[in-house]
Amino acid sequence: MVLVAGSANLDFVVRAPHIPAPGETVLGGTFQTFAGGKGANQALACARAGGVATHLLLALGEDAFAAPIEASLSSAGVTLHMVRPGGVATGTAFICVDDQGENAITVAPGANACLHAAHLPPLQGFSHLLLQLEIPLPTVTAYALAAQAAGLQVVLNAAPAGPLSAALLAAVDLLVVNEGELRTLAGNSGSVADCLTRLPCDAVVVTLGARGCVARQGGTFHLQTGFKVPVVDTTGAGDTFCGVLVAALAGQHTMADALRQASAAAALACTEMGAQSSVPHAADVAALLIQATRTDEAAALQALRQFAGLP
């Protein structure tokens, strides 16, 4: 059983030909709202696409923005541990998605900033705690230390990127980052492999978009190439990856198998609009894993190895 602790937002999404530059106004297209927030997205992915029992500690305001978030999570079977700070709005995110499916996101934390150490529920029965950085950093650190002391595996998706204390990193069993976050934390402009080696956690996974992902587990490296799909919107793909990765590890899968499942789920999440609305079901992930064939798999793997700076 997995516990996720983190943010929940209502996403306001507009499509546009390109993401505006500073000072630029762009005439957009469709506008929609979706349930989102890194914590909520990852919990829903863990339950829906990963197929494991999942609980989520979250904070929502007492406003209309909270209702679609609760409905989305409940529909996926996520058990909610709710904090309702009075007089604070539900978190929101403002997202622009361009014609290539890339996005730019601004988050107003709202109630997410009100999660504190005392809100952590009892940890008995959980094997993994999954955290992100859209809630206060002292809270994240307190949760990680408590979970470490209780014998849980602590997984941190270090997004959005920022400096992390030695105490927090020492409590993390598995760190998940994208390439930009990896370089921020490693303070290194060398290869991906160099940066992975510099981080003190026992295991680190870096996602590399369409290229795939690379993991360092102790002194062993694992590579997983990406799945080719028609990209509509990349919002939530990284969160889907994190949720399914932890679900697979909680199900006693190997790291290599977990990376493959997570990569397939993340690819499918890019084929639909929205964050939680784009998370696939476990059956869809299984079908892609069966159907996916690449005649250029060896070449793609070699290209990924070279990009990461591995021999």
Residues marked as catalytic: 239
- Encode 273-308: b = buried (16+ Cβ within 10 Å), e = exposed: bbbbbbbbebebbeebeeeeeeeeeeebeeebbebb
As a whole number of angstroms, the distance between CA 131 and CA 47 comes to: 15
Q: What is the dihedral of CA 251, 256, 257, 263, to 10 degrees?
A: 110
Tokens 């990765």 sit on residue: 245
Count CB atoms within 10 A of the CB of residue 22. Answer: 4
Two structure tokens written together for 90: 């539900």
